[in-house]
């Protein structure tokens, strides 16, 4: 039986494991998707890979699934974090979704001098990451961290994790990653806000040994476009696309 619907669950997964659905999950499967007892779906929890599960109980307020067979092992992304300054709501959602699809291991909103965004709802962004993983076939869901000020983040930064600092002031040349192509290990990509980095922030980042300023090409990109472009370049050179 082919299973096309994928669902993220919190339960442990294993042969014969029963999974109790909450009201929202039951509504989606049985109210929206019109599944019934005997239907098969795919489930994952970010730890135990992907499993085919059969519906054994279906109701308006709940239901039960039973794990039948593993369909994919856990596939971890590269050790890559995405740091980005929040922007407008829909475009912030886009960044989280695309970062999940493209293989970020962790997503961190950072507040910079020119960040122009309201309060970050971490739970809502985490839900977007879950939905993106469900849609793209991933078996891992990156954590979306609470927003933190850039200065505070850099003060406690582990220098073993290098930062690919996407500096819009370098725009004008060919997209280039001159300093990172041979640098293996943990990495983070840093994307600035719509107004760019302040002179103070830029000077600090250029002075850090673990920060590698790069250009993303001859044009200044929107923040959401820059996130996708930067992750594409990094994945192609150092990630699991290489």
Tell me whether the CATH fold assigned to 6-72 matches the one assigned to 80-238.
Answer: no
> Is the Cβ–Cβ distance between 163 and 201 less than 8 Å?
no
In the chain, domain spans? 6-72, 80-238
Give pLDDT tens digits for 109-148. Answer: 999 999 987 788 999 999 999 999 999 999 999 999 999 9
The DSSP 8-state label assigned to residue 79 in this structure reads S
The H-or-E segment that residue 66 falls in is strand 63-72
Give, in order, the Cα–Cα distances in Å from 6 to each of 29, 142, 201, 212. Answer: 10, 17, 42, 38
How far does CA 7 lie from the centroid of its chain? 17
Q: What angle do CA 175, 181, 184 make, to 5 degrees?
A: 140
CATH class held by domain 6-72: mainly beta
pTM of the model: 0.92
Fold of the CATH domain 80-238: Alpha/beta knot (3.40.1280)
The whole-angstrom separation of Cα 45 and Cα 141 is: 8
pLDDT band for position 195 (cuts 50, 70, 90): confident
């Amino acid at each position: 039986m082919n299973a096309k619907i994928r669902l993220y669950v919190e339960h442990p997964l294993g042969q014969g494991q029963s999974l109790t659905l909450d009201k929202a999950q039951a509504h989606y499967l049985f109210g929206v998707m019109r599944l019934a007892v005997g239907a098969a779906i795919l489930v994952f929890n970010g730890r135990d890979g992907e499993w085919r599960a059969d519906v054994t109980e279906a109701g308006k307020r709940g239901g039960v699934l039973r794990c039948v067979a593993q369909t994919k092992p856990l596939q971890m992304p590269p050790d890559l974090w995405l740091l980005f300054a929040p922007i407008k709501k829909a475009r912030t959602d886009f960044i989280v979704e695309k970062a999940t699809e493209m293989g970020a291991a962790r997503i961190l909103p950072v507040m910079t001098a020119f960040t122009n965004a309201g309060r970050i709802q971490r739970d809502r962004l985490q839900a977007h990451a879950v939905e993106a993983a469900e849609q793209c076939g991933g078996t891992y869901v990156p954590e979306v961290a609470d927003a933190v000020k850039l200065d505070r983040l850099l003060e406690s930064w582990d220098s073993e994790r290098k930062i690919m600092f996407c500096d819009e002031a370098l725009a004008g040349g060919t997209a280039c990653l001159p300093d990172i192509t041979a640098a293996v290990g943990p990495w983070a990509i840093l994307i600035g806000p719509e107004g760019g980095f302040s002179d103070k922030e830029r000077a600090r980042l250029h002075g850090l040994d673990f920060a590698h300023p790069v250009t993303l090409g001859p044009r200044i990109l929107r923040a959401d476009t820059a996130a996708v472009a930067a992750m594409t370049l990094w994945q192609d050179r150092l990630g699991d696309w290489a």
